[in-house]
Structure 1
């Protein structure tokens, strides 16, 4: 079972994404709405994947991604940046970040997460999901 945490400043999005991903077989172990909370919760919950909004109101998701990367260069979880903005708008920042990739919020699903992870590391993550694979 893939364990996921979502970091976003929109309570509505956090609630909707949690319901969607849980229904699709991803266990959402926690949510955070700001950087300090995210750092604390990632350390506490140890998720496999963190979905991180690039625009957290007054905070930068890109800066938070760097802070979530440990000092020794390893991350406690794989980071996936998410946004309502187009990927092209932030392509250079996404490429320079420690994230494994980017997903537009409108395409967020267990299938999209699994596909991104598979493309990134060449491993089939289907066995990490107990629910339906989606369409």
Structure 2
């Protein structure tokens, strides 16, 4: 497996090169921002692009968008410090194959193997894919068991959160006010025992 890494923390890059190299994973390029990541991908055509989200200048999301626009089959995986990063849901909608937590270094090599096997990974765990395009058209998707306690409208809002929509977009798509959207999200969080909208999306995807 050949990968590129983009992270503005050189120590993270050097550490990952050692850890991944010991597992037979070749790091064929290292960058420090989104521009370098996009250039490296074009030059190296790696099996996986492992990108930090927040970097100086153009960030990982920008790089992912460039990479995936040129190569829709690209395996882009985000590496982040925070498991509840507000950008994660949009990253998945963009087409990323998942995200990993920097502090959980041991989970990175097996997670990359899952990605190579065609799976999506969240926090190192494989999850089933969701057809975001179909979901966006309002197709009837099976309700995850964990969401059984929600009303139909709460589940609809949860599904739209998982698609990466913000409150204004959800309000327009579901024909309700933004205040109502916020109320539904608060209710979903309370019923499911979650902390934020990213956890709603993760629960949906894992379901």
Count of residue pairs the alignment pairs up: 118
Q: Does 1:65 align with 2:64?
A: yes
For 2:85 and 2:8, the matched residues in 1 are separated by: 22
Runs of 4+ residues over 4 Å off in structure 1: none
Structure 1: where are the runs of 5+ without partners? 122-135
Question: Counterparts of 1:5 and 1:98 in 2: how far apart (Å)?
Answer: 17
Q: CA contact under 8 A between 2:75 and 2:115: conserved in structure 1?
A: no
Q: Which has the higher strand share?
A: 1
Higher-Rg member (1/2): 2
1-side partners of 2:119 and 2:100: how far apart? 13
Following the alignment from structure 1 to structure 2, what is the Cα–Cα distance between the partners of residues 118 and 43?
A: 22
Counterpart in 1 of 2:52?
Answer: 53
Q: Which sits farther off after the overlay, 99-108 or 42-51?
A: 99-108
TM-score (norm: length of structure 2): 0.51
The runs of 5 or more residues in structure 2 that have no matched partner are 121-207
The 5-angstrom pairing of residues 116-127 of structure 1 reads 116-118=115-117, 120=119
Residue of structure 1 equivalent to 2:82: 85
CA-based RMSD of the aligned residues comes to: 2.0
**SS of structure 1 residue aligned to 2:112:** helix
TM-score (norm 1): 0.76
Quote the Cα distance in structure 1 between the aligned partners of 2:22 and 2:31.
20
